[in-house]
Structure 1
Amino acid sequence: MITMEDIIKEGHPTLRQVAKEVELPASEEEKKILAEMLQYLKNSQDPEIAEKYGLRPGIGLAAPQINVSKRMIAVHVTDEKGKLYSYGLFNPKIVSHSVEQSYLTSGEGCLSVDREVPGYVPRYARIRVKGVDLEGNEVDLRLKGLVAIVFQHEIDHLNGIMFYDRINKENPFKEPENATPIDR
């Protein structure tokens, strides 16, 4: 079981590396790690389990955050309409995206960052992501809103990018051009 102790913090060199592709089919070890990442998110969103194990609630987790420099992400998040997106993906890629942008009005947080980093993080409003799930099936997702933001945040981790790298340094609360605000 992944706990908060397994999650590395900003400043750790693995968070700034470009993660390696997972050779498919994934090994049993890689499947186990990815399944545990997804289970962490589910556990962290369950108030009783989260309290018992001291888990910080999360909606996304990338393998580099547990010091595994491989292209694997887990996402467990509900969209604006209450639809659950629960995925563990190997080698996720954004294959297309909108010109329009969006951002969370509350800013973004990260399990690897133990401080508030105020500011808007511009993201694509709509994306299409391809990857391979835990069962080895190809997945092709068209995402928008909060879910699209979560996937972009996690895929950034695979490229050594932290969310605050995208915040406008001069004016953190400058609204990104052509962007839709998303309240969460």
Structure 2
Amino acid sequence: MITMNDIVREGHPALREVAEQVSFPLTNEDQKLAKDMMTFLKNSQDPELAEKYELRAGVGLAAPQLAISKRMIALLIPGEYEDDPPELEEVMFNPKIVSHSVESACLKDGEGCLSVDREVPGFVVRHSRVTVTYQDREGKSFKKRFKGYPAIVIQHEIDHLNGVMFYDYINEKSPFDLDDEVTVIG
């Protein structure tokens, strides 16, 4: 089971490296990693399990955050209401943004990261909509569009595969300055 002790923190070199492509068919090790990453997200969002195992809640996790150089991300975005099914529940292999909107968006409260143990104030401006290609566990290829919050989460996780941290986008001099056309979500 993945715990917070398995997640590397900022400053670890794995977080600044470009991850390797995942080849198919998946190895048993890659299948287990995908399952474990999703289990971590589910456990982290369950108040009782999160407290029991001292997990910080997360909606996404990338293999480089476990010091594993693989282009693999797990996403678990809860539904709007408590009993709703997840808005997005997927492990993506070799995800790639193939197109994006001109419009930009950011989260009202900024972004956080399981690999960053401090508050980093400021807006992280990203694309409002993205089209992503990826493969699932069976190697089947998909091309899907995401907008709003899911688009932001996916961009955050894909950044991890490219050695980019969310705070790289924050304007150091004016962390809360935004252009008028940026949509603030949340």
TM-score interval, normalised by the smaller of the two chains: over 0.9
Report the alpha carbon displacement of residue 43 of structure 1 after superposing the two structures with TM: 0.7
Aligned to 1:170: 173
Alpha carbons 1:79, 1:146 under 8 Å: kept: no
Aligned to 2:156: 153
Q: TM-score, normalised by structure 2?
A: 0.94
Q: TM-score, normalised by structure 1?
A: 0.95
Q: Which runs of 5+ in 1 are unaligned?
A: none
Structure 1 segments, 4+ long, off by >4 Å, are 79-83
Q: Which runs of 5+ in 2 are unaligned?
A: none
CA-based RMSD of the aligned residues comes to: 1.4
Report the alpha carbon displacement of residue 25 of structure 1 after superposing the two structures with TM: 2.1
- Counterparts of 1:121 and 1:129 in 2: how far apart (Å)? 20
Alpha carbons 1:60, 1:74 under 8 Å: kept: yes
Q: Using a 3 Å threshold, how does the CA distance of structure 1 residues 79 and 177 change in structure 2: closer, same or farther?
A: farther
- Between 1:128-137 and 1:150-159, the stretch displaced more is 128-137
Amino acid at match of 1:58: G
Amino acid at match of 1:172: P
Amino acid at match of 2:16: R
Aligned to 1:19: 19
Please point out which of 70, 86, 89 is paired with 1:86: 89
Q: Using a 3 Å threshold, how does the CA distance of structure 1 residues 176 and 33 change in structure 2: closer, same or farther?
A: farther
- Counterparts of 1:140 and 1:50 in 2: how far apart (Å)? 33
Aligned to 1:59: 59
2:31 aligned with 1:28, yes or no? no
- Counterparts of 1:79 and 1:109 in 2: how far apart (Å)? 19
Q: Using a 3 Å threshold, how does the CA distance of structure 1 residues 173 and 79 change in structure 2: closer, same or farther?
A: farther
Percentage identity across paired residues of the two chains: 57
Aligned to 1:127: 130
Post-superposition CA distance 1:162-184 (Å, at most 9, x none)? 0000001110001145211001x
Report the alpha carbon displacement of residue 79 of structure 1 after superposing the two structures with TM: 5.8
Amino acid at match of 1:145: G
Alpha carbons 2:25, 2:138 under 8 Å: kept: no
Report the alpha carbon displacement of residue 161 of structure 1 after superposing the two structures with TM: 0.2
Post-superposition CA distance 1:113-144 (Å, at most 9, x none)? 00000000010000011111123322222100
- Counterparts of 2:54 and 2:146 in 1: how far apart (Å)? 31
- Counterparts of 1:67 and 1:162 in 2: how far apart (Å)? 14
Report the alpha carbon displacement of residue 80 of structure 1 after superposing the two structures with TM: 5.6
- Between 1:21-30 and 1:76-85, the stretch displaced more is 76-85
Aligned to 1:69: 69
